[in-house]
């Protein structure tokens, strides 16, 4: 099994996961939350696309659930936005929620972090596998969904 703890991309991704968790848990400390959050999400996305392929270990994730603070609601303003669910199909837009996007990303990166921090090879492989899987599916879609409305807020086009 590859030593994932020493992999430069994994190390950088873990650093950004920790920064994202800190941002979400203490949004009040950030002056321009939409800009900082969009930048943080972009870093997570870029690194997630370079995570090494690995097989999951036997270790099971316990799962993390978060209720975002009221400060995040105030920081991003109106939560709802419109998006096209499948960009390759001609379909009507659907409503998205910045709040739901940020909490889904948080849950999908924080859970595997607890495994990563355990440090044993089996848990490390499960953590990296989960991050890659989550970012290529559920968390990745929420991350991408949040970027446009956060960009609009950060650049002053909306709210």
Q: Is residue 126 part of a domain?
A: yes
Residue among 38, 30, 68, 23 nearest 145 (CA): 38
CATH number at residue 11: 1.20.120.1550
- The model's pTM is 0.89
Helix 33-48 / helix 138-154 crossing angle, nearest 10 deg: 150
Q: What is the pLDDT of residues 118-153, one digit of tens each?
A: 989 999 999 999 999 999 999 999 999 999 999 998
Per mean pLDDT, which of 30-39, 44-53, 80-89, 149-158 is the most reliable? 44-53
E strand map for 84-155 = 94-97
CB 40 within 8 A of CB 16: yes
**Cα–Cα dist 52/136, whole Å:** 13
Q: What is the pLDDT of residues 20-41, one digit of tens each?
A: 999 998 887 667 899 999 999 9
Domain housing 19:
4-154
Number of domains the chain is built from: 1
Q: Looking at residues 65-81, what average pLDDT do you find?
A: 74
CB 135 within 8 A of CB 15: no
Q: Looking at residues 43-48, what average pLDDT do you find?
A: 98
Q: Is residue 159 part of a domain?
A: no
CA 54 from chain centre, in angstroms, equals: 20
**Cα–Cα dist 44/131, whole Å:** 10
Average pLDDT over the chain, rounded to whole? Answer: 88
CB 119 within 8 A of CB 74: no
Q: Is residue 140 part of a domain?
A: yes
Q: Is residue 67 part of a domain?
A: yes
pLDDT on residue 156? 82
Q: Is residue 86 part of a domain?
A: yes
pLDDT on residue 75? 74
**Cα–Cα dist 138/149, whole Å:** 18
């Amino acid at each position: 099994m590859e030593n994932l703890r020493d992999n430069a991309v994994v190390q950088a991704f873990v650093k950004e996961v920790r920064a994202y968790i800190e941002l979400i848990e203490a949004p009040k400390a950030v002056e321009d939350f939409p800009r900082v959050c969009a930048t943080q999400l972009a870093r997570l996305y870029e690194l997630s696309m370079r995570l090494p392929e690995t097989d999951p270990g036997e270790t099971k994730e316990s799962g993390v659930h978060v209720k975002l603070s009221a400060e995040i609601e105030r920081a991003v303003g109106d939560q709802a936005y419109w998006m096209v669910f499948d960009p390759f199909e001609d379909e009507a837009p659907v409503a998205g929620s910045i709040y739901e996007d940020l909490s889904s990303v948080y849950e999908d990166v924080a859970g595997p972090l607890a495994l990563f921090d355990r440090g044993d090879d089996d848990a490390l492989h499960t953590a990296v596998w989960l991050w890659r899987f989550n970012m290529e599916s559920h968390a990745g879609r929420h991350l991408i969904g949040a970027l446009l409305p956060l960009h609009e807020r950060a650049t002053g086009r909306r709210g």
